[in-house]
Structure 1
Amino acid sequence: MNSLAEKREVKKNKDVKMPASKMVMIFIVATGVFISLYFYLPDTFSHSAKIMTAIVCFGVILWALEPIPLGLTSLIVLVLMLLFKVAETDMIFSGFSSPAIYLIVGGMMLAKAVNETPLARRITYKVLKKWGNHSKGLLGSILLIMQLQAFFIPATAVRTTLMLPISTMIIKTVDARPGSNLRKMILLGIAFGGNISGTAVMTAAIGNILTVELLDSYANIKITYFQWFFYTFPLWLILIPAIWFLLLKVFPLTKKEQSFPMIKNEMEVKLKELGSISGQEFRCILILIFIVILWSTEPLHGLHPSIPAIIGVILMTLPGIGCAQWANVVKINYNTVLLTSVTLSMGYTLIDSGAANTISEYLSLDWVLSFVKNPLLAVIFIAILTQLFHKLISNVSTAVVTLVPIVISIAANANVDPMILGFTAGLTSLYGFILVVETMPNLLVHSSGMIDQKDFLKPGLYATIVSTVAIIIMACTWWRWIGLV
């Protein structure tokens, strides 16, 4: 890499603080939207519904533009809900006591514990050694690694974080220069691979967990770990090769960029440095297998997925049994915990305040109700609506907890089962490919400083179309065959 390019990358990698004037302007806009909604929403909205709608929009603007950290915005939204008394205090705090939050916290701690061992790196090096000596195999290896991690490492953000140092090593090894198609293909392989990696494994994405929680709480629909996998694994099998093929076509490579014999040698060196598999890694593997077995057999024992996650954390940190130090495992990202807890509380309160029901009544036009009464048309309508909605609501958690309650209310107005509507909305929310802010994998890859927002646009548009069409195909085939539609 030439020195000028290195200087540019170093400059891009530095944390750039938002100018104070821009921060103030964003807060003025968010506050203006809050005041406007409160005073100008029609009288069909109750007082609590007006306030709650205003708070949601205020929070969404701050989460989308991020003038302050996501966790700090979450606390502001929480305080606003409490000060304006949009619901009972217990209801507003209920997101923090949800089993879904303990599953997320447990999942993040599990990921920390796994990262205390060389296991994830060993698997990555082995896969790259076998298939990474050609551009097609390299991209396929990146996508495959992301999917394998989904079974054992909950949260797309954690999996992406683990892969970023690997991607940096690959980029240096194959000399993928700044702005080259090869570099874009590698980085978007991680971002897009991370987005689709949450498809079939319920615990692999926060959006899945929130969708299951909301359907259970407000529609009395319980979806187990095994059921989620059963409903979605054909979609997963479609998306993996589809994204692989798409990225290869969007980023054509020169002949020189297609072969990397040095990858095999580099991976052999890395594996030699790791040495043979240790007792620490072996214990980690056994505990992970035990957790996955508990998750997949939920119908037999009835344990909420959060319980196996917590059991796993205990086993991985117990002296003499585990594979990690408690002091390191407990250092998790509380921005994510606060964001998820508050957005879940927001979803609950959106329904409890009557805001979700009032909004759904405005959306319950005759043609909308006729659409949702037909299961196949309902899937098409909700998938497209969710993709459009997701462009306005930046992160997956906020999109899910804002849209799923409204969709449940629309289903109630149409007098249809809310299962397929809520499930489709939650699942489609995972697939944000166009904008950096839509998903954590996009955001983390972009934050590396090695890729720009404009690089997401064309492949992201194609990936959005592919994922939406794939969901519709699933509804017409697999979901109809198994009776889900």
Structure 2
Amino acid sequence: MKQKTVNYKLVLLGLLLFIGILFFVNLEGQRLMTNTLAVTVLIAFLWCTEALPIGLTSMLPLVLFPTFGILDGKLVSEAYINHVIFLFIAGFIIALTIEKWNLHQRIALKILSYTGTSFFRIMLGFMLCSSLLSMWISNTAAAMMMIPIGLSVVTVLNKKGEESKMRKFNTHLFLSIAYACSIGGVGTLIGTPPNLSYARISEVLFPKIPEISFAQWMIMALPIVVVMFMIVLFLLYFTSVPKGKSKLKLEGSYFKKEYNL
């Protein structure tokens, strides 16, 4: 991995913007408001230009907010280290390990070997695997893991049928992966970052409400996931089956062979 270097000229320019706002801007006589603007502009500038490594820039509020009286150091620290952040980190680590050991490929091929090799069953298998993966890792990561498997299947299907007639099904197959990842992400708190953001923001804004637990979220979300899954599956399938090719399918042992490789 290429190591990020410090661009001292851009850092100096950012500091000049920061100092300029501190000393020459006065937002309705509110000193703390001006300080907040100055720190925000400095951090945004350093992020956009990457004058400093992004991770280092992200830690600046820990120092600058308490220094300029914007926010208490304890409150800033709690924003960095809380159970929601650890859930984020856990999701990222799981995604990295799944990708490293190709577990996603094994899961996908195993599910597809059970669902079957007809058009409908292939789409069902891909959507099922994509949604299950995205319940535990990032939607984007789940989609990127499933795309190579989808490409290999599409290549074989194109050889068995006319590519021009298969194009619509191929397109809808990849759409089914994308939609299934988004749908599966609804199912758990770590399925997609907005879920955790909602849980954390509601906790901050309404401290007296009961905490949203992992199990409570799943009880609420899984029925929604099932309904959306079925709607998208049948909609994509019935609008994508090539005319005269509905009986075309892969060999029954195709996915089992791929799984055993």
Relative to the length of structure 2, the TM-score reads 0.68
Q: What whole-Å deviation, never above 9, does each CA across 1:392-426 have from its counterpart, x for those lacking one?
A: xxxxxxxxxxxxxxxxxxxxxxxxxxxxxxxxxxx
Distance 1:82 1:262, change over 3 A: same
**Partner in structure 2 of residue 271 of structure 1:** 259
Q: What whole-Å deviation, never above 9, does each CA across 1:296-346 have from its counterpart, x for those lacking one?
A: xxxxxxxxxxxxxxxxxxxxxxxxxxxxxxxxxxxxxxxxxxxxxxxxxxx
Q: Distance in 2 between matches of 1:132 and 1:246?
A: 19
Query: Aligned-pair distance for 1:99?
Result: 2.0
Distance 1:140 1:56, change over 3 A: farther
Unmatched segments (≥5 aa) in structure 1: 1-30, 274-485
Distance 1:79 1:201, change over 3 A: same
The percentage of counterpart residues that share the same residue type is 17
Worse-matched range after superposition: 78-87 or 92-101: 78-87
Query: Aligned-pair distance for 1:224?
Result: 0.7
**Pick from 197, 214, 220: which aligns with 1:225?**
214
Alignment pair present for 1:189 and 2:189: no
**Pick from 188, 191, 200: which aligns with 2:187?**
200
Query: Aligned-pair distance for 1:62?
Result: 11
Alignment pair present for 1:209 and 2:196: yes
Unmatched segments (≥5 aa) in structure 2: 1-16
Q: Distance in 2 between matches of 1:67 and 1:182?
A: 42
SS at 1:180 equivalent: helix
Tell me how many residue pairs correspond in the alignment. 230
Distance 1:204 1:67, change over 3 A: same
Q: What whole-Å deviation, never above 9, does each CA across 1:254-288 have from its counterpart, x for those lacking one?
A: 22554542253321211232xxxxxxxxxxxxxxx
Q: How does 1:435-474 map to 2 (within 5 A)?
A: none
Name the aligned partner's letter for residue 172 of structure 1. Answer: T
SS at 2:233 equivalent: helix
**Partner in structure 2 of residue 162 of structure 1:** 145
Distance 1:225 1:261, change over 3 A: same
Distance 1:172 1:105, change over 3 A: same
**Pick from 71, 78, 87: which aligns with 1:87?**
71
**Pick from 130, 136, 150: which aligns with 2:120?**
136
Q: Distance in 1 between matches of 2:174 and 2:61?
A: 39
Q: What whole-Å deviation, never above 9, does each CA across 1:194-240 have from its counterpart, x for those lacking one?
A: 11112122232222222222222342230111111122222112111
Relative to the length of structure 1, the TM-score reads 0.39
**Partner in structure 2 of residue 109 of structure 1:** 93
Maintained 8 Å contact 1:129/1:263:
no
SS at 1:201 equivalent: coil
Distance 1:162 1:48, change over 3 A: farther
**Dislocated runs of 4+, deviation >6 Å:** 38-41, 53-63
Name the aligned partner's letter for residue 259 of structure 2. Answer: L
Whichever of the two has the greater Rg, that structure is 2
Maintained 8 Å contact 1:104/1:154:
no
Maintained 8 Å contact 1:200/1:232:
yes
Q: What whole-Å deviation, never above 9, does each CA across 1:342-398 have from its counterpart, x for those lacking one?
A: xxxxxxxxxxxxxxxxxxxxxxxxxxxxxxxxxxxxxxxxxxxxxxxxxxxxxxxxx
Q: Distance in 2 between matches of 1:56 and 1:148?
A: 39
Maintained 8 Å contact 1:59/1:73:
no
**Partner in structure 2 of residue 460 of structure 1:** none
Q: How does 1:41-440 map to 2 (within 5 A)?
A: 43=28, 48-49=32-33, 76=57, 79=60, 83=64, 85=68, 86-115=70-99, 117=101, 119-150=103-134, 153-175=136-158, 180-220=167-207, 221=209, 222-248=211-237, 251-255=239-243, 258-262=246-250, 264-273=252-261
